[in-house]
Amino acid sequence: MAKASSTTINALQFLLAPEKHSFGAACAVVGDDAFLRHEVRLKLAKRFEPGDEQGFAVESRDGRSAEWRDILDTLCERSLFGSEARVVVVEDADALVKNYREKVEQYVEKPTRDALLVLECTTMPGNTRLAKAIVKHGLTIRCQVPEKGRERSEFARQLKDWLVYVASNEFEVTLQKSAVDLLLDLLPTEPGILYQEIAKLSLLSTGSKPIDSELVRKYVGGWRTRKTWDMIDAAVEGRSADALAQLDRLLAAGEEPHALLPQMASTLRRFAAAARCFEIAEHRRQPLSLRAALEQAGMPPFKLSTAEQQLRQLGRPRAKQLYRWLLAADLALKGHNSTKDRARRELETLIVRLSKLTAPPAAAR
């Protein structure tokens, strides 16, 4: 595998044309966008699946439990009945890098011939020896949405190209430029959310009809959808003042409290389920990370990193009470607090319960 001509690219560059990029000895898939990391991993596996013209066999390892000696053995293995070289993808590799940094650095500097090591990490500071070695000998794929500046503008342009590519190649439907512009205006710049919308719209597009702006305007949520998710994120992150302000705007715009509670509950139930999974694993003395618990609870891949921080903010005691709080709110909205004003108070109570915990005053201790 020849060394790539460009040693650092973003995920969308790779997803648009994976065949144009070679990897050298090692590839780092780095960033906090779980959806982009997931998509890059799938493209890697598809490109190097057994039987392709390059003859590479792909194997995956969990970096949270893997030993470096086992990773190295797998990289050096050859098939008994073939000549396939190895591609080893280490998922959640932050722990592996932390525990075996020096050995991983040595391998990247002097790699096994015809083998590729893929490290999927949340973070990898560019000033470390490992990051510099991968830039020198391989490829780094950044899986994150830039915050601002020229990088964000370039990312937005590539995002439009990628959405058109996804619609055509994965869902066999044409996505018009005007529809892409409208999607980015209506929804957050999150590849995972936009991907799901393309999947939904492809089912609604009949025959050879393209996805146009009319279809997007009819079926994709606008301002209220964005503000509802902003309110939910603010509530779960403990920013009660922001969440209450968003709730006030939504209700003033005509949103019904009875429609907002199910949307809040769909997210909060996943946190409750994750807390239960974590506690069950703890009782069985089977180590389980918060991220793995959230995965078991059905949290979407592109939300995992954010959700892990939100669950830490909630804490175990409150997360365990979420089912009870949601049931109480649901019964209240269907019973004695069914009027709009009283229903609003139920939502406000739920948001306040999720607010950040603060230490009691010194006199109260």
**CATH at 202:** 1.10.8.60
> Tokens 């780095």, residue?
30
Q: Cα separation of 332 and 235, whole Å?
A: 20
pTM above 0.85, yes or no: no
Q: Is residue 363 part of a domain?
A: no
- Which range has highest mean pLDDT (46-50, 172-176, 182-186, 200-204)? 172-176
Residue 352 confidence (pLDDT): 93
> Taking residues 176-203, what's their average pLDDT?
86
Q: Cα separation of 78 and 89, whole Å?
A: 16
Q: What is the pLDDT of residues 301-338, one digit of tens each?
A: 767 888 899 999 999 999 999 999 999 998 988 886 66
Residue 362 confidence (pLDDT): 46
> Taking residues 228-257, what's their average pLDDT?
85
- Among candidate residues 201, 221, 241, the one where a domain is terminated: 221
Residue 275 confidence (pLDDT): 93
Res. 53: pLDDT tops 60: no
Residue 298 confidence (pLDDT): 82
Does residue 250 sit in helix, strand or coil? helix
CATH at residue 277: 1.20.272.10
Q: Is residue 68 part of a domain?
A: yes
- Among candidate residues 142, 164, 199, the one where a domain is terminated: 142
- Among candidate residues 142, 160, 193, the one where a domain is terminated: 142
> Taking residues 104-125, what's their average pLDDT?
87
Q: Is residue 3 part of a domain?
A: no
Where does the pLDDT of residue 173 fall: very low under 50, low under 70, confident under 90, or very high at 90 and above?
A: very high
CATH at residue 27: 3.40.50.300
Q: What is the pLDDT of residues 60-76, one digit of tens each?
A: 888 888 899 999 988 88
Residue 230 confidence (pLDDT): 82
* 176 and 234 fall within a common domain: no
> Taking residues 226-238, what's their average pLDDT?
84
What strands lie across the sheet with 56-62, from one edge to the other? 8-10, 139-142, 26-30, 115-121, 85-91, 56-62
Q: What does the mean pLDDT of the chain come to?
A: 84
Does residue 190 sit in helix, strand or coil? coil
* 203 and 231 fall within a common domain: no
* 179 and 86 fall within a common domain: no
Higher pLDDT, 255 or 145: 145
> Number of folded domains in the chain?
3
Q: Cα separation of 127 and 221, whole Å?
A: 42
Q: Cα separation of 56 and 50, whole Å?
A: 6
Q: Is residue 359 part of a domain?
A: no
* 348 and 304 fall within a common domain: yes
Instruction: Tell me the β-bridge partners of 88.
Output: 59, 117
Domain around 236 = 225-353
* 256 and 328 fall within a common domain: yes
* 99 and 23 fall within a common domain: yes
Q: Is residue 302 part of a domain?
A: yes
* 78 and 50 fall within a common domain: yes
| Both structure tokens of 196 | 């799901």
* 207 and 296 fall within a common domain: no
* 119 and 31 fall within a common domain: yes
* 178 and 245 fall within a common domain: no
Nearest to 225 by CA among 205, 196, 202: 196
Where does the pLDDT of residue 8 fall: very low under 50, low under 70, confident under 90, or very high at 90 and above?
A: confident
Q: Is residue 186 part of a domain?
A: yes
Q: Is residue 1 part of a domain?
A: no
Q: Is residue 360 part of a domain?
A: no
Q: What percent of the chain has pLDDT over 90?
A: 33
Q: Cα separation of 151 and 11, whole Å?
A: 13
> Taking residues 80-98, what's their average pLDDT?
79
* 21 and 137 fall within a common domain: yes
* 13 and 105 fall within a common domain: yes
